[in-house]
Structure formats: C-alpha cells, structure tokens
Amino acid sequence: MTETEKLADIEAIKQAKARYWRGVDSGDGDLVRSILAEDCELDYHGCCRDPQTGVDHLPAMNMVLRGRASWLSDGMSKYGIVSVHQGHQSEIEITGPDTATGVWSFTDRMFFAPGGAFSGLTGYGFYHETYVKRDGSWQLKTTRITRIRVEVE
C-alpha cells in the first residue's frame, strides 16, 4: 500500500464517521446503516455514565447493537432526544488492506423533552472503533464509547 493509498483510506474513514454522526443527529437511520458493516457490533454500555461520580444518567442506553439492521430508523428522536455530536482529533491506523482502527475524541450534547430528570447532557470522551473495507467502501465494524466527563443540567 502506498502512502497516497493509505491517506485516501484514512480520509474515506473520516468521511464515513462524519456521515455516521450526521445520521445519528438528524435521525436518518438509512444514512447510519449505510456505513455500518452488516455484522457490526456497537457497544454503548456506560455511554452516559460519568466516571467522576459513577452516575449513569441514561441506563436505558446500555446496550449492544449487533448487525446493521439493529439500528433504529429514527434513532434517538423516537425518545424525544435531540443530539449534537462534534468529532475532533482522529487517530486512524490502517492495519491491513481492508482493516483499520480508530480513536476519536468527541463531545456530544443531548437535549431532552421538558419534565424529565434533566433537560440536557453534555459528554466528553472517545469512540474506539474498528473498520472494514467491503466492496470498495469503508464501514464501521465495532464501536465502544469511553467517557472522561458527563455533565447534566
């Protein structure tokens, strides 16, 4: 693999991750599924737990989605949640001709319908991911979120 091919693959993975976050935030399940590997595993256990306090602000989110079809069509909007994700530094390593790993720093905000325990949640942390290249496109194979801080209001 040439350096140019490697850089092109890294950019393609960045574009796939950008589409993932846009699909999550806009409630576009078809868009999210379009970048998920058929046999993906998305582990959201502890995704809203504050490591400083140990409080899990959304225990219902503690799930593992297996397979592309497991992604909901309307995402979090079904539950009255509006999310806004901002991905930052990416550490992407091409590990083979059709495999890669990545760690993304990110911030997300979630806004909830009135009347709940809190109106908003801001989280800071990292996505730890693997990718596979199938039919010429990079797809998300696995993801796991670790948090460094969670704030609620």
pLDDT tens column, 80-95: 789 999 999 999 999 9
The count of domains in the chain is: 1
So what's the pLDDT on residue 80?
79
Identify any residues that bridge with 105 across adjacent strands, giving them in sequence order.
Answer: 126
Q: Residue 37: which of 132, 150, 153, 136 has the closest Cα?
A: 132
pLDDT tens column, 15-73: 999 999 999 999 999 999 999 999 999 999 999 999 999 999 999 889 999 999 999 87
Q: How far apart are the first and last CA of the chain?
A: 48
Task: List the CATH number of the domain containing 48.
Answer: 3.10.450.50
So what's the pLDDT on residue 81?
86
The answer to whether the beta carbons of residues 149 and 124 sit under 8 Å apart is: yes
So what's the pLDDT on residue 60?
87
How far apart CA 138 and CA 141 sit, in angstroms, is 9
| Overall pTM surpassing 0.95 (yes/no) | no
So what's the pLDDT on residue 131?
98
| Rg, C-alpha atoms of the chain | 16
Identify any residues that bridge with 106 across adjacent strands, giving them in sequence order.
Answer: 87, 125
- CB neighbours of 78 closer than 8 A, spacing ≥ 6? 72
Q: Which domain holds residue 140?
A: 3-152
List helix spans (H) across the chain: 3-26, 29-35
pLDDT tens column, 115-130: 888 899 999 999 999 9
Quick check: 99 pLDDT over 80?
Answer: yes
So what's the pLDDT on residue 75?
63
